[in-house]
Amino acid sequence: MEGTRPLLVEIQALVAETSLATPRRAVVGWDSSRLAMILAVLDSHCGLGLSKHDVYLNVAGGLKIHEPGADMAVAAALISSITQKPLPKGTIIFGEIALSGSTRNPSQSAARLKEAEKLGFTQAIIANQNQKESKSAKKNLEKTTFKVEEVDHLMALVAKLAVNMA
């Protein structure tokens, strides 16, 4: 979110095996400590083994993101890179990730979903918090072909993407 306006951005990730004792972490446009936290959660709760890989993360277009609403998008980009399978086309992903691996909806999720639909996205994967705002956003999108799927834990995101990527 830039003020009250949703700004959709592309998150790119590259995960590569390394022979170095300390894997490299290169981040452009996002908080490197937030990336370290997401990598730790993916390793600890999902068993992806990212601690033995170099990780490069980029926010396309030279933008800088300062909010945790992009956590799930970063996790999805990392999952896509390590499995070497693309994410489903036309999909927007957002939500905050806690240290426990649980997910939370960021503020103004309804505005984010509405903007995504306007820009031609066909589905969203968001955090499931049963928030009133989330329910109202989904209700507004029921009249369209826009599909909203919710996940309550990072492990569910990994499972969902593994199914969609196959």
CATH number of residue 119's parent domain: 3.30.230.10
DSSP 110-165: HHHHHHHHHTT--EEEEE----HHHHHHHHHHTTSS-EEEEESBHHHHHHHHHHHH
Evaluate whether residue 37 is within a structural domain: yes
How do residues 11-65 score in pLDDT, each as one tens digit? 999 999 998 899 999 999 999 999 999 999 999 999 998 989 999 999 999 999 9
Evaluate whether residue 47 is within a structural domain: yes
Evaluate whether residue 149 is within a structural domain: yes
For the chain, what is the mean pLDDT? 89
User: What pTM did the predictor assign?
Assistant: 0.90
Name the domain count of the chain.
Answer: 1
Q: Supply φ then ψ for residue 146, to 5 degrees.
A: -65, 130
Indicate if the pLDDT at residue 153 is higher than 90. yes
How do residues 98-145 score in pLDDT, each as one tens digit? 999 999 999 888 899 999 999 999 999 999 865 555 566 556 656 667
* Residue 92 and residue 8 in contact, taking contact as beta carbons nearer than 8 Å: yes
Evaluate whether residue 33 is within a structural domain: yes
∠ CA 114-94-48, rounded to 5°: 155
